Amino acid sequence: MADGSDRPDGATTRRNLWRYLPLAILAGAIGAAFATGLHRSFGFEAFLSYQVQLRGMVAEHRSAMLGLYGLVYVAAVILSLPVSAFLTTVGGYLFGWLLGGAAASLAATLGATGIFVVARTSLGQPLLKRAGSRVQGLAAGFQRQSFSYLLFLRLMPVMPFWLTNLAAAFFGMRLKSYVVATYIGMLPVCFAFAFAGSGLDEVIARHERDRQQCLATGQANCAVDLDAQNLLTPELVVALTILGFLALAPLAVRFWRARRRAEGPTKP
């Protein structure tokens, strides 16, 4: 008969509950945000209705509005709302491309770090300890090159932002490396969208004319069809692609050196 010595005691159970509590709260908040349609409130249709008021508030209370913008951005990232491109574009429109891009990159890093810490504490370390040797081997390989991998994923968003955060947490990436790679990787992207947002006046005027023409024809649905992704020029996309592959350059160099060592010295 088992003597129960392998069962978790009360203290261990309480520690596990406290460990998973932040994750449970975060999951509940994310579920509530999507269930209530909060993410649909962050769109250009709603923005156009208030853009004049927002600009007036920024003119009168610039510092306070910048702080509020940062808080909203951090909350949106923590809740995994797919509105980062929109918020960065709006930041460039309201505060200019330099200040808007800097604020967006900082807020994106803070929000992503919050998710990373919660996920690593609640899921990453416990799950990795229970994973098989193959998964742990993959994790060890990721940890050795984690900075370059994450920098590439930030510059080239081939994975959703929230999934990249969870993957880095699961594979046990160090917090300092995660923060630095995220911040550096977000800078070009945020400045690109903020720069696009700084020239949003012309785009807004054009879409407003189209909407008025639509309403004049008596159509019921004259919603603004504008996506922040479409504001990026092909030149900016190419530049971000080049930066993304440059982030992988250290990995290529290490692979080449390892292969040369494995082949041994070349014969004369």
Beta carbons of 247 and 148 less than 8 angstroms apart = yes
**Using one digit for the tens of pLDDT, what is the confidence trace for 9-20?**
666 666 666 777
With 90 as the cut, is the pLDDT of residue 207 above it?
Answer: no
Output 26 or 79, whichever has higher pLDDT.
79
Mean pLDDT (the chain) is 76
Residue type, 258: A
**Using one digit for the tens of pLDDT, what is the confidence trace for 129-154?**
554 454 444 455 566 777 887 888 78
Nearest to 87 by CA among 207, 230, 197, 234: 197
Q: CA angle, corner 172, sides to 176 and 165, nearest 5?
A: 75
Written as six digits, the tokens of 63 are 């510092």
